[in-house]
Structure 1
Amino acid sequence: MLEAQAHSHLKTLLRQGESNWPHHLTLSRLVGRSLRRGDRTLLRLAPNQRERWWLGLLMPLCLQSSSAVLVLTAQQRQRLLQVERPRLARQGFRLACWEGNTPPPQDQLWLLDHAGLIQAHRNDLLGDRQLLLPGIDQLSEQLRRCMAIRLDASHWEQLRLALPQAEKPLLELHERLSRQLFREAPRVDACIRLDNSACQSLRDLLAVMGPCPSPWSELLACDPREWSHWAELDHTMLQWSWCLEPLEPLQQLQGLLSQRPTLMLSDSGDSARLEQELQEANASPTVTAVLREAELEEPLPLFAPRRQPLPNTEIYAEHLLEQSRRLILGRPGLTVLLLDDPSLRRSLTASLAAEFGTRVQDECTAPEDNGVISGSWSWWLQHLDQLPEPEQIIIGLLPIASLTSPITAARVERLKSQGADWFRSLLLPEALRQIPAAVAPLRRSGGRLAVLDGRLRGRSWGDQVLQRLEPWRPLQRLLPD
């Protein structure tokens, strides 16, 4: 049986001190079981930036690849080929990997990135191969980014050359859109949503002009109701780019997960939003297992005073500066300050730098020992493995997506049209998914967490945020060490 063989070989390997993670053997048995049975399995791992799941995933594949498809980011692919695969080879385990846009001719592990996965699915090349998806929590975002379409000035010129009979109306349409966009821009280099009338005008024009070159053909194939359209302005060059992204990529790629066995690894620490996405894609897992870590079960010191101002009040910026100053003062370790509002973050960073000097940096990966790093939530989640474990994290704003983002606004409007509770079915679950992974380094370092967003105590949904932070113990006041 594959599970027993993988367990035995991995146990021998671990005796040589390859890793001290307690779940290697359990994970290898679960992966081997999923490969043998060809089912749809979701394995929920504790948030960990070191990706300690590699040995447990690869050992069963060394013994039987089962013509599986492993979907990796560029960073994960580099680690597989330069670190994990050579490490296994030194111990006598061979992993046959195949790269390319066509399936492997033999029983080999097929390595694909997310763009390659989309292409293989559309060309019906995946067949009944089992998909292996580490980082399943970011799958929708990765697919959305790969499916995005961007049309700039060079593409308009390309279209005019391909359709000379439509040159005049194309120029008139582009000029009219340009005047409208720059006139309505709320600020320099803004992003402005394009209404359906502009999209439909172009569609009507191109529909009677014959075949269009790529990427215009892809634009015409998009259902406007399922895609978000916006313009990114460049005031320096007085040009703009037309950007399109699918609202729900898993629903666009029908059958990607539902028509074949799938093994999914989640390490966000919260799977509510993921389970909703899988259910909407008809790909709910038949087997789910949770692997916890004892070091993440220690209570987290939480400073979150009641009656803090809300972010939309005039005094909030002053409150954020005053409380951040108190929290940073005298701390010998690294402090991370998280908020997604770029303008507010720049202002706060500048004010703190005026008091604490060069130890305060914005999105810096080489901080001082007692440095203060301000950054967005997405930046922190992407780079936390490159930074020392912080002594404290200050949450200036909870990661509730802003409706100023065109893609977020379009997704919200779609839910509104369906009569759904767009905040509790979209914005809140996506925010809750980011929190456990973002604060996990604090539990390992024994640091403290401060939440300065008044909505934590002032809104009913704040209790759900506190639940995601469990276990925690309250810090009623700030005292010197």
Structure 2
Amino acid sequence: MIEAEVHQLLREFLRQQGHNQWPHHLTMARLVARALRLGRSALLQIGSTAAYRGYYRLSYLMPALVWPGPIVLVVPHAIHQQLVQDEIPTLLQTLPTIKSIHVGERWPSETFQGILITTPRAWLSAQFSSTQPSQPSAHAFPDNIVTLIDGIDPLVDWVRNQLTYRLDDADWHQLGLAYPNQQTIIRNLRVKLTHLAFQHPANPYSGYLADDEEQALIIELYEQLSETPLGLEALPLAWKQFRQQLEHDNGMTWLQLNRELGQLSLQCAPVNLAEMMPPIWQRQPVVLIGAAVDEEQRAESYRQRLGLDDITCLKFTPDRHQDGIELYTPDQLPMPNSSRFPNAILQEIRSLLQLPETRTQPTVILVGDNPLKAQIGSILAAEYGSRVQVERDELSENGILVTGWEFWQDYRLRCPSPGLLIITTLPIPSLENPLVAGQVSYYKRRHQDWFRLFLLPTALQTLQLAIAPISAQQGKVALLDNRVNHRSYGRTILKTLSPIAQSTYLEPSWLTPVNQAL
């Protein structure tokens, strides 16, 4: 069977190459080979540290190259070059067979039996357009071809972005051209809507969930146009798609503002993706590979969000000898909503910046609150000079990066390995974000626990990905949010970050000079 062949080939390859950085290579390779042979979907959680290092990719590339049939490999564009120029050629040199490799957004030909490497955007776009034969990408990927999707941690966001419909200035102009006799009505309704939108107080996201009055104005516009001789048949495509989503009870609508330019964008997206995804999963077997998509092995919460049925699930345990962190969680700090919190954590940050690691390695300070981020950045820049950078990717050897979560999630893959990561507050999604507010509202309407089902899992995933560069070198993390010590969900957070050596005070070993510790 292919499982035995893959096991033997990969074991020999690992022995020759001296790869011993990840202990689960052979187990994962057999599971992927089994999924290929049986055509059964699987969900594999490899751990945030393994995902950060990238060594695990050997475990699915080997069975993919040995498998005699065609395969679609969906991976973020950022790792395409590494796959086609390094990892795949290295493996092919050791295999008795040759498999054709293509990179693109469409299936090469009906007779193709190789591996097509494509992006999540291209694959999802083709999947959602498959119900519309007139779309050029409708048949970009044939059905019943085993599909490996690597890096699925942002899959929920990828899907929602693909299903988000937007109406911008150009779309309003197109609507006016489609209904030349209704331009006054269209303009007046747009002015009213824009006026209401700009009454919202400024927030860091410049976005707001549409309230009842704003929703009513959008619906009124469609009703006015439906009563014209042209009816709604003359609607431009963007307006038709927006209306379909707007009328769905699974949708949320929000307003995106550019206050400097006085511009308004309307956006609408589904909340419950589980209603949209089953037809896609039924089209072909899929092997989903992610770092940390769910705290449980069965990943029931994650599967429910994406409409995944009962599939093979496995969660690999981290290597306690290679993946642990030293975690400092001070117990005397005020809570984040306290007025004393900013000054208290600033003093704590000053103390931590005296640690030996900060002199020879970069230090990263994660601040989720934008005003606080700017304040900490300014104060530290006055004290430490050019060593301090606020969300810039030009970090010196002993630089201090003050950053928000979104910037760090992107930059962490390119950043020199930090010696110390300071987290000021837990990455619990903010209700000021209209996408978050819309999903919370959806859970509330159904009388479900929106914190445990949505906010906490999102925070856990963000946290695990954020600390991966530090865990990869068994570094030090300071978590200054005292909720981890005093809230019931704090135990869940600590369990998720395991393996850890936790302390509520600064261990003497942390303060030992580097040369003395060596």
Taking structure 2 as the reference length, the TM-score comes to 0.85
**Aligned 8 A contact 1:192 1:230 in 2:** yes
In the alignment, does 2:242 pair up with 1:219? Answer: yes
For residues 205 and 430 of structure 2, what CA distance do their matches in structure 1 show? 18
Q: Deviations over 1:231-276 (max 9, x none)?
A: 2222332222222333233432332225542211121274449531
In the alignment, does 2:383 pair up with 1:355? Answer: yes
For residues 175 and 23 of structure 1, what CA distance do their matches in structure 2 show? 59
Please give the residue correspondences for 1:15-414 in structure 2 after superposition, counting only pairs within 5 Å: 15-17=15-17, 19-21=19-21, 22-47=23-48, 48=50, 49-64=52-67, 66-91=69-94, 94-98=98-102, 99-102=104-107, 104-106=109-111, 107-122=113-128, 123=130, 125=139, 126-186=142-202, 190-195=206-211, 196-207=215-226, 208-222=231-245, 223-258=247-282, 260-268=284-292, 270-272=294-296, 274-295=299-320, 300-330=325-355, 331-332=358-359, 333-414=361-442
**Aligned 8 A contact 2:323 2:473 in 1:** no
Q: Give the C-alpha shift of residue 7 in structure 1.
A: 2.4
Q: Deviations over 1:120-177 (max 9, x none)?
A: 3231554222221112222111112232222211111111112213222111111111
Secondary structure, counterpart of 2:431 in structure 1: coil
Unaligned runs of 5+ in 2: 132-138, 513-518
For residues 59 and 183 of structure 1, what CA distance do their matches in structure 2 show? 57
Look up the match of 1:6.
6
Q: Give the C-alpha shift of residue 284 in structure 1.
A: 3.8
CA 1:381–1:186: 2 relative to 1, 3 Å = closer
For residues 64 and 299 of structure 2, what CA distance do their matches in structure 1 show? 25
For residues 413 and 14 of structure 2, what CA distance do their matches in structure 1 show? 24
CA 1:476–1:37: 2 relative to 1, 3 Å = same
For residues 81 and 234 of structure 2, what CA distance do their matches in structure 1 show? 40
Identity rate, percent: 28
Unaligned runs of 5+ in 1: none
- What amino acid is the match of 1:151? L
**Aligned 8 A contact 2:208 2:433 in 1:** no
**Aligned 8 A contact 2:273 2:306 in 1:** no
Secondary structure, counterpart of 2:346 in structure 1: helix
User: How many residues are treated as equivalent by the alignment?
Assistant: 481
Q: Give the C-alpha shift of residue 476 in structure 1.
A: 4.2
Secondary structure, counterpart of 2:412 in structure 1: helix
Taking structure 1 as the reference length, the TM-score comes to 0.91
For residues 427 and 259 of structure 2, what CA distance do their matches in structure 1 show? 29
Q: Give the C-alpha shift of residue 474 in structure 1.
A: 3.3
Q: Deviations over 1:197-223 (max 9, x none)?
A: 233223323443423223222112214
Secondary structure, counterpart of 1:136 in structure 2: coil
Q: Deviations over 1:84-115 (max 9, x none)?
A: 33334444653324533457412333433233
**Aligned 8 A contact 2:275 2:307 in 1:** no
CA 1:53–1:189: 2 relative to 1, 3 Å = closer
- What amino acid is the match of 2:263? Q
Q: Deviations over 1:302-354 (max 9, x none)?
A: 22122421111111111121111111124323221112212211111111111
Please give the residue correspondences for 1:430-469 in structure 2 after superposition, counting only pairs within 5 Å: 430-469=458-497
Secondary structure, counterpart of 1:255 in structure 2: helix
**Aligned 8 A contact 2:204 2:370 in 1:** no
